[in-house]
Amino acid sequence: MDFVAGEIILIDKPLDWTSFDVVNKLKFKLKYQYGKIKIGHAGTLDPRASGLLIVCTGKKTKEIEGIQNQNKVYTGSFYLGAETESYDTEKPAINFQSIEHITEQEIHKTAESFLGEQQQFPPIHSAVKIDGVRAYELARIGLNPEIKSKVIQIYQFKITKIELPYIYFYIECSKGTYIRSIANDFGKRLNNVAYLASLRREKIGNFSIEEAYTVDSFIQKLDAIQ
């Protein structure tokens, strides 16, 4: 593996790690063994999400933008009948509502309503920049920044299992799609509330989680080729 010339490394990001945690861990290890190497990731995963994170080194960092522009596949679950400020489990659940009247037919019909092109508002607790400042940084100090909507595309949205209050899904979508926002909007379209209970990124373009290393297994590989 030639990390200076450039490598594309597929990592299975652990839950509660930031994407930068992974990059910094690998950067420290590569720097120790090979010297200073350019390194970056192709598409952020939230701390409360796991799954495919693509890390590029050396000259392959020039391919980051192209990788980021590819479609993504996610699996996970929504919690129906409560919401959170962050739209996921990073913040505590609030505003509990009854879901006894919601049918499985309504749930499937709601998923179908997301297919195609649409406008989406990213969460306030997100890395979207507002006048050069990350939205989550403004939210942390109590501000409520105005976030503009963006055009996204949902190619597939399948409900794979319903075990209320949990709804399990498979989504294929365009770049820049926030699954947390889909969770929040899903509740609204059911005249209820919902948040993202779990999320795993399975694919980015033709890159699959099935080919990914865990952080530990990749470090072990580096040790073996030292």
**Cα separation of the two ends of the chain:** 11
The count of residues in the chain is: 226
Check if 131 is active-site: no
Catalytic residue among 2, 12, 46, 88: 46
Tokens of 183: 């969770």
Exposure pattern of 9-47 as b/e (b: 16+ CB <10 Å)?
Answer: bbbbbeeebebeebbebbbeebeeebeebbbebbbebbb
Give the dihedral of Cα atoms 44, 49, 51, 54; nearest 10 deg.
10
Residue with tokens 């690998």: 26
Which residues are known to be catalytic? 46
